[in-house]
Amino acid sequence: MPYQMVRLEKVDGVAIITLNRPEKLNAFNMEMTAEIDMALDEAAQEKEVKAIILTGAGRTFSTGIDLNWAATVRGDEELPSMASTVRGRMVTHGEKSFMTVVLKIQNMPKPVIAAINGIAMGGAFVLALACDLKIASENAEFSMPQVKRGLIPDGAGTYLLPRAVGLTKALELALICDSIDGREAERIGLVNKVVPHDSLMAAAREMATKIANNAPLAVAMTKAAMYKGIQEHDVAAHMDYEVYIMNILFATEDFQEGISSIWEKREPIFKGR
């Protein structure tokens, strides 16, 4: 489908979704978040796509919510849809919003890599947090300024940030609101790695390609098990879940291919079945 505020490219098993409002520093409005949601759907449905990269056009990843748009959101006619339950709006209205984007990234079987090319502020910081892997350029800068505007880090910001960096550091970032650069983000475990700015997309593609070369069903189930495991308090129960998944994977063609490729001293060719 045609997009106005994002770009979607699909090359060699990797989909690249680019936030594409550089004249607005890729700030979010409702139309843009809906397009991100739809681009994620399109990438998820393409069998050839094994991994997804999310990045920004121009010199920023995104400055978060479009303040010009946000200033118009007031009055009883608009607030209920934003304040009602996220799942309820998805089911009853098919709503596409920032919240549905975060849920879609976390729930889809294909890994999503954030390639953070510049400023990631507020909601954009949360969007990067929602991605499974994060790679940042040396130009990246992260900040959570919501409390300076009388708001909170929503869209799962208060859920994802403490899990990424620990409660104490999360509170520092969200309450003091100082920005941090890519190297500090790497040091505290917020991003996987930092690379020179001009190497960002090549490094992100390399990471995505390495994932794409693995068995798709195993990748999907590993992602699901990791997200389930981080919430599970009973280790024995989680091992039971792993056994259940392993029994499924043992019966797949990909598992047989993985074993055969070892004995035949060649790279495996996985088919996702």
| pLDDT-above-90 percentage for the chain | 72
Q: At the fourth CATH level, which superfamily is domain 6-212?
A: 2-enoyl-CoA Hydratase; Chain A, domain 1 (3.90.226.10)
Q: What is the pLDDT of residues 38-61, one digit of tens each?
A: 999 999 999 999 999 999 999 999
Cα distances (Å, whole numbers) of residue 272 to 32, 161, 222, 250, 254: 32, 33, 14, 13, 6
Neighbours of 24 (CB within 10 A): 20
| pLDDT-above-70 percentage for the chain | 90
Contact at 8 Å (CB) between 86 and 155?
Answer: no
Q: Is the pLDDT higher at 95 or at 198?
A: 198
Q: Is the pLDDT higher at 128 or at 31?
A: 128
Residue ranges covered by each domain of the chain: 6-212, 216-263
232 band by pLDDT with thresholds 50, 70 and 90: confident
Q: Is the pLDDT higher at 5 or at 266?
A: 5
For residue 224, give the amino acid letter.
A
* CA dist., res. 36 & res. 19, Å (int): 8
Cβ-in-10-Å burial (0-12, 13-18, 19+) of 52 comes to buried
Q: What is the pLDDT of residues 108-126, one digit of tens each?
A: 999 999 999 999 999 999 9
74 band by pLDDT with thresholds 50, 70 and 90: low
